[in-house]
């Protein structure tokens, strides 16, 4: 059995609080500090330290996510005083703090590389809820709450790894048992996502898409992510070693290559999710159409039982089912609302942990039934869980509906 990965692999400790007005609108134009920072003495000690830092504004709107490097200085402003100490953490002005508002969540995390991550998430957002869950925090106030992961370690699981990826943290994977087979099969080229999904599934044993579809789906997706990153690293390393051609065009070629890597990562994740769901539907003998065109050239990810039934206006609309598939649902779930006019209650499956209650309430109001793989349910509140269904429950719903339509 693989060893469960812990949050201590990435962070030694964190502190969290709500930003005050003076912290987001400081009078001093260039040098800034966080208030009530003495709580960090247990992590930082008493000596003056200059940290490299990464500032992240983690908005639910991907267009408003900001990330910038900077420096921070920890020191005792009363170091020469015989009896008193007053520790401060200074940082230079940056776009992340400028984008923050009073009462937004602030996380200061010391990484295992001995740098700092300064993370800000808007109050009431899904990003805020995910950070609170990741670091094992309940609601926080205007005083720093600290966590020392030497003593309060937490297993990451699928949800924790998902949130770390959202922060731009490259996960350290230790299982390399299928890398030789992977490289022998594909060399220095990317196969189609369908072929890659099939290969990745073939390396996962001890799962059942019929008996445990939720756990099976996550096991397939985790393995595919691991193998994809290994193949990507091999291909990118070879490209970097060989260079990008003539000096006059080297910068443009590098930028183009970098963008292609990022775009491939994003599109592959969505296609992998769809491919593995399709396999689960097939194994469970569910009839479906994938990527079929409905009204206004819209293409819902899945239609049940199929496109011909959807186009047949004599087929009862209340026997039709539409499923949207979104790896992330923070600001993208509304896209499915216009994808199948004949289906009033739309289903949406996502891998997003800890979506805010405001968002899930709005989904309910918009007649969207949210589906989550069962291991992710625990990242939601008890009241939210009452409105969610698992993949297994969705499959049972489809099977019952399918049996009813056989007599139509």
Q: What is the pLDDT of residue 320?
A: 97
Fold matches, 178-281 and 289-406: yes
pLDDT > 60? residue 383:
yes
- Calpha distance 215→361 (Å, rounded): 26
Catalytic residues: 310
Instruction: Please give the average per-residue pLDDT across 291-319, as a whole number.
Output: 95
pLDDT at 26: 66
User: 59, 331 in Cβ contact below 8 A?
Assistant: no
CATH number of the 7-155 domain: 2.40.330
Residue with tokens 């819902």: 300
Write down the domain spans for the chain. 7-155, 178-281, 289-406
- 248 has pLDDT over 60: no
Q: Give the predicted TM-score (pTM) of the model.
A: 0.89
pLDDT of residue 140 exceeding 50, the answer is: yes
Q: pLDDT tens digits, residue range 276-303?
A: 999 999 999 999 999 999 999 999 999 9
Tokens representing 6 are 């812990």
Given a cut of 90, whether residue 325 has pLDDT beyond it is yes
Q: Label residue 246 by pLDDT band (50, 70, 90).
A: low
Q: What is the pLDDT of residues 83-122, one digit of tens each?
A: 787 888 888 888 998 899 999 999 999 998 889 999 999 9
pLDDT band at 1 (very low <50, low <70, confident <90, very high): very low
- How are strands ordered across the β-sheet holding 368-372? 289-290, 302-304, 321-326, 346-350, 368-372, 389-390
Structure tokens at 393: 């429950």
Closest CA to 155 of 9, 288, 322: 9
pLDDT surpassing 50 at residue 344: yes
CA distances from 160 to 321, 362, 390 (A): 31, 25, 19
* Backbone Cα Rg of the chain: 24
Secondary-structure class of domain 289-406 per CATH:
alpha beta
CATH topology of domain 178-281: Restriction Endonuclease (3.40.91)
* Lowest mean pLDDT, pick from 12-26, 278-292, 387-401: 12-26
pLDDT of residue 63: 76
């Amino acid at each position: 059995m693989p060893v469960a990965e812990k949050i201590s692999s990435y962070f030694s400790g964190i502190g969290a609080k709500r930003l005050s007005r003076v912290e987001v609108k400081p009078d001093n134009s260039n040098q800034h500090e966080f208030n009530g920072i003495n709580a960090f003495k247990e992590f930082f000690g008493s000596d003056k330290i200059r940290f490299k830092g990464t500032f992240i504004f983690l908005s639910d709107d991907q267009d408003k996510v900001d990330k910038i490097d900077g420096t921070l200085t920890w020191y005792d402003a009363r170091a020469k005083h015989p009896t008193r100490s007053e520790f401060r953490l200074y940082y230079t002005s940056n776009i992340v703090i400028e984008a923050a508002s009073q009462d937004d969540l602030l996380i200061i995390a010391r990484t295992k590389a001995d740098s700092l991550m300064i993370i800000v998430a808007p109050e009431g957002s899904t990003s805020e809820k995910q950070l609170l869950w990741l670091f094992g925090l309940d609601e926080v106030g205007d005083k720093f709450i600290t966590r020392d992961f030497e003593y309060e370690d937490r297993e990451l699981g699928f949800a924790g790894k998902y949130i770390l990826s959202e922060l731009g943290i490259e996960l350290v994977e230790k299982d390399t048992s299928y890398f030789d087979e992977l490289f022998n099969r594909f060399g220095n080229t990317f196969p189609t996502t369908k072929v890659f999904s099939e290969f990745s599934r073939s390396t996962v044993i001890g799962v059942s898409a019929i008996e445990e579809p939720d756990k099976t789906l996550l096991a397939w997706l985790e393995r595919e992510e691991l193998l994809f990153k290994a193949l990507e690293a091999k291909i990118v390393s070879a490209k970097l070693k060989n260079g990008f051609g003539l000096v006059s065009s080297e910068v443009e070629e590098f930028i183009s290559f970098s963008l292609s890597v990022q775009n491939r990562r994003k599109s592959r994740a969505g296609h992998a999710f769809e491919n593995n769901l399709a396999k689960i539907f097939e194994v469970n003998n569910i009839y479906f159409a994938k990527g079929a065109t409905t009204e206004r050239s819209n293409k819902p990810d899945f239609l049940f039982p199929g496109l011909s039934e959807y186009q047949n206006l004599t087929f009862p609309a209340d026997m039709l089912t539409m499923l949207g598939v979104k790896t992330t649902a923070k600001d993208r779930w509304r896209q499915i609302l216009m994808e199948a006019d004949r289906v009033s209650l739309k289903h949406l499956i996502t891998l997003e942990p800890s979506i805010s209650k405001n968002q899930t309430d709005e989904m309910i109001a918009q007649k969207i039934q949210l589906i989550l793989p069962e291991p992710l349910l625990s990242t939601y509140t008890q009241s939210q869980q009452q409105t969610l269904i698992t993949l297994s429950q969705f499959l049972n719903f489809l099977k019952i509906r399918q049996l009813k339509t056989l007599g139509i």
